[in-house]
Structure 1
Amino acid sequence: MAIGLSTYAFFWRGSTQVEAPMTLAAMLEETAALGGDLFQICDYPAIESLTAAELEALREQAARLGIRLELGTRGLAREPLERYLDIAERLDVRLLRSMIYSGDDRPDAQQAVQRLEALLPRLRRQGVTLALETYEQLPVDALMAVIEQVDDAHVGICLDPANCVAALELPGTVIARTAARVVNLHIKDFHFTRSPGWVGFQLTGCPLGEGLLPLSDMLARIDPAGRGIGAVIEHWLGWQDDAATTCRLEAEWTRHNMNLLRSNVS
């Protein structure tokens, strides 16, 4: 089973909130240093502005480090997806994560199916699997109805049960409903607790193994090792008091989560 990191594991360290943001090259080096097998460049618009030479350098670096690259974008609009498939071709990427909605572009189920069916010839030709993520804006049953109607191995589920809690869908239910169609795993743990003062609730991130994510049950149900599914670590880490504290904690979570995930699959 391949495990690795997402750009979301570098959300703060790679942001303009810090004095010297980490580059993709630096993120790749850290992924390798922590024993990662893959790196998902997800919701990272700067990838679109890289030149052909810069993309080639990134591909070569990943190959040298023994890391498989994946990409992530949002939506099912044809032009953006084609652009990311062009980038995928240059980076030798075989998995592209997306979502059905992006901003104001919110296709209904039949429109989503039509767009996916129109994209299938290129996905097949290029050998790319499109992984549509579970998240709170779309009920899991509605997402699965689209996946099941398309019914092609090149379109599957990127499973992230934590996202769906905001729509009051329980992780176990989401895992069971999507298990057969999962092609990518996003791994992040979370707390769902009462807000200070006892008015309302908070859905926040936490280090892996300390929250409500049923990690062992999810891995047993999905069988990522047996099915060749990659597991990508992300974080929901809020900004701390200052950049130094935030970056230190983000690095600690990343190291801890990689070690714990590895211990669950070894």
Structure 2
Amino acid sequence: MAIGLSTYAFFWRGSTRMQTPMTLEDMLEETAELGGAVLQICDYAAVETFDDARLTELSRHAKALGITLELGTRGLNLAHIERYLQIAERLGVSMLRSMCHSGEDHPDDADAIRRIEALLPQLENQGVVLALETYEQIPLNRLMNVIETVDSPHLGICLDPANCVAALEIPQQVIERSAERVVNLHIKDFAFTRSPAWVGFQLIGAPLGEGLLPFDDMMARLQPAARRINCIIEHWLPWQHDSVTTHDTETRWTRHGINLLRNRHG
């Protein structure tokens, strides 16, 4: 097990809403400073524009800091995943997170299985594991059917119980059903809060350990250290009214999360 950060832990600080957005190199430096061992470059479209020289330098920088890189994208479009496998090869990445859907491309289960099976030779050749994330657009039982039908060591689950709450799936049940196929773990806490005027609720992020994520139970069930499952911290931090407050809050949540994970389960 290695503890790391996702680019989602830098969501606001890396955005154009900051006067000086963080670069991937900045994120690598902070990951190392906080004692993390992994940076997952997840849904970070700019990486698709990097030429070979930039990718090679990013890989070199990560290795110099002792950081393992992972990649994350969306969908099962074959050309798109093949492009990410090219990026993965250049970066030395062996874990690629994705989702079944992207934009208007919504393959049914049979089509998803066909696409993944077409990708298996390349995944096997590169030594890459494709981790499909649990999320609200696909019921967990359907996602598990895809994973279990393909039944390859190069395919597994990227578990994020928080995502499934929007589909009224219970986090504890999601953890239990997917546990044996988990190969990557996204850790973000969440809470329900009343909307303004108490009309409905909002599902938003919370500092790790302070929300509704069954954090310790999840770690006990998965045993990520024994199974060498990397634990990647993310946030659902709402914008905090201004850039300075948002920057400082995101920084604090990130430091708190990685410290709590290390102290309890590192």
TM-score interval (norm. to shorter)? over 0.9
Q: Which amino acid aligns with 1:68?
A: T
Matched residue, 1:5: 5
Cα offsets for 1:142-194 (capped at 9, x unmatched) = 10010010011101000000000011001001000100000000000000233
- Are positions 1:237 and 2:244 aligned together? no
Matched residue, 2:195: 195
Matched residue, 2:222: 222
**Root mean square deviation of aligned Cα:** 0.7
Within-5 A mapping of 1:56-95: 56-95=56-95
Matched residue, 2:252: 252
SS in 1 for 2:196: coil
Partners of 1:51 and 1:199 in 2: how far apart?
A: 49
Within-5 A mapping of 1:3-152: 3-152=3-152
Count of paired positions? 266
Q: Displacement, 1:19?
A: 1.1
SS in 1 for 2:192: strand
Partners of 1:131 and 1:28 in 2: how far apart?
A: 22
Cα offsets for 1:31-90 (capped at 9, x unmatched) = 000000100000000001111111111101111111100000000000010000000000
Q: Displacement, 1:11?
A: 0.4
Identity of aligned residues (%): 65
Partners of 1:109 and 1:60 in 2: how far apart?
A: 39
Partners of 2:238 and 2:184 in 1: how far apart?
A: 25
Q: Displacement, 1:202?
A: 1.0
Partners of 2:88 and 2:218 in 1: how far apart?
A: 28
Cα offsets for 1:210-233 (capped at 9, x unmatched) = 000011110111111001100000
Structure 1: any 5+ residue segments left out of the alignment? none
SS in 2 for 1:105: coil
Partners of 2:204 and 2:23 in 1: how far apart?
A: 26
Q: Displacement, 1:243?
A: 0.6
Partners of 1:209 and 1:219 in 2: how far apart?
A: 12
Q: Which amino acid aligns with 2:82?
A: E
Cα offsets for 1:76-111 (capped at 9, x unmatched) = 000010000000000000000000000100000000
Q: Displacement, 1:241?
A: 1.4
Cα offsets for 1:231-266 (capped at 9, x unmatched) = 000000111111111001000000000100111213
Partners of 1:20 and 1:86 in 2: how far apart?
A: 30
Q: Which amino acid aligns with 2:47?
A: I
Normalised by the size of structure 2, how large is the TM-score?
Answer: 0.99
SS in 1 for 2:198: coil
Matched residue, 1:183: 183
SS in 1 for 2:197: coil
- Are positions 1:204 and 2:204 aligned together? yes
Partners of 1:192 and 1:175 in 2: how far apart?
A: 20
Partners of 1:194 and 1:148 in 2: how far apart?
A: 39
Partners of 1:258 and 1:150 in 2: how far apart?
A: 34
Normalised by the size of structure 1, how large is the TM-score?
Answer: 0.99
